Amino acid sequence: MSPQWIVVIVLIAAVYFIFIKKKPAIKQNKKDSTDKKTQPQSNDMIECAECGIYCEVDDTILSNNKHYCSQECLKKA
């Protein structure tokens, strides 16, 4: 077998490995992106118990199992 054939075989093998390794990597990236979309539940919008404005859960004040958008609404309630 001549050295040129070895180079050709190595190149073909390299191309095969790149394609075989890339496909699962793309699937994993897609799974990661979907997980990121489903994970952040803290950014869910919730209605203020007093004025009805929708706020992010992180920005609301929780009192007596009710969410309020601000201290003013909490005082009114």
Q: Which residues pair with 63 in a beta bridge?
A: 66
| CB nearer Zn ion, residue 50 or residue 66 | 50
Q: Which span sits near Zn ion by CB under 5 A: 6-14, 18-26, 29-37, 49-57?
A: 49-57
| Residue 55 CA neighbour count, 13 Å, CB half | 18
Is 55 a binding residue for Zn ion by CB under 5 A? The answer is no
Give the single-character DSSP code of 72.
H
CB of residue 73 vs Zn ion: minimum separation in angstroms?
Answer: 3
Which residue carries 């793309």 as its tokens? 26
Residues that bind Zn ion (CB under 5 A): 48, 50-51, 69, 73
